[in-house]
């Protein structure tokens, strides 16, 4: 009986270590994809600016565009599309998840699930505000990793 309990405990320890390893992999992947999004963000802003200038020149005529007004409107529009805050919060949530995963608290499954929900919110907001196909591809990959992590956290509960 004691041998069976010992073997069961060893099996649970091994399974927990594998779950932790997999969860860290998922979070590290999301972190790497976040960096890709961060690299693409300045290019996205330039594309938006160019697209707006081209459309205005095409429909209104370049000579009819008030440069100062154009700059004001562009700044306003780019602020609405700004994803820097979402990326900062996402990175903080990812870091917190990793810290929590290393914690010895036996009842951390629900907490990990809550942090994954917050990670999901930031990923979704980033995707909806980005308005860029290249960034959307990374967001889809982040969501895929997030779903895999959520499935694994259910095994921690």
**Number of structural domains found in the chain:** 1
Taking the C-alpha atoms of residue 104 and residue 126, their distance in angstroms, rounded to an integer, is 32
Using 50, 70 and 90 to split pLDDT, how confident is the model at 81? confident
More confidently predicted of 55 and 118: 118
- Is the predicted pLDDT of residue 157 greater than 70, yes or no? no
The label of the residue with tokens 């990812």 reads 94
User: Residues 96-124: what's their mean pLDDT?
Assistant: 90
Q: Quick check: is 16 in a domain?
A: no
Tokens standing for 116? 């994954």
Residue 4 lies in a domain: no
pTM for the structure as a whole:
0.83
* Host domain of residue 147: 25-156
CA-to-CA distance for 114 and 142, rounded, in angstroms? 17
Is the Cα dihedral 45, 51, 126, 38 positive or negative? negative
- Could you tell me the two tokens for 140? 């889809």
pLDDT at 72: 80
**Residue position matching structure tokens 């956290």:** 153
């Amino acid at each position: 009986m004691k041998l069976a309990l010992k073997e069961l405990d060893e099996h649970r320890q091994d399974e927990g270590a594998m779950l932790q390893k997999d969860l860290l992999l998922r979070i590290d992947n999301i972190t790497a994809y976040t960096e890709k999004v961060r690299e693409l963000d300045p290019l996205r802003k330039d594309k938006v600016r160019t697209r707006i200038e081209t459309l205005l020149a095409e429909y209104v005529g370049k000579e009819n565009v008030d440069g100062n007004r154009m700059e004001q409107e562009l700044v306003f529009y780019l602020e609405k599309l700004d994803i820097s805050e979402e990326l900062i919060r996402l990175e903080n949530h990812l870091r917190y998840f990793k810290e929590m995963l290393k914690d010895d608290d036996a009842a951390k499954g629900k907490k990990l699930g809550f942090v994954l929900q917050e990670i999901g919110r930031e990923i979704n907001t980033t995707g909806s505000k980005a308005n860029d196909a290249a960034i959307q591809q990374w967001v889809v990959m982040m969501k895929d990793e997030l779903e895999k992590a959520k499935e694994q956290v259910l095994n921690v509960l």
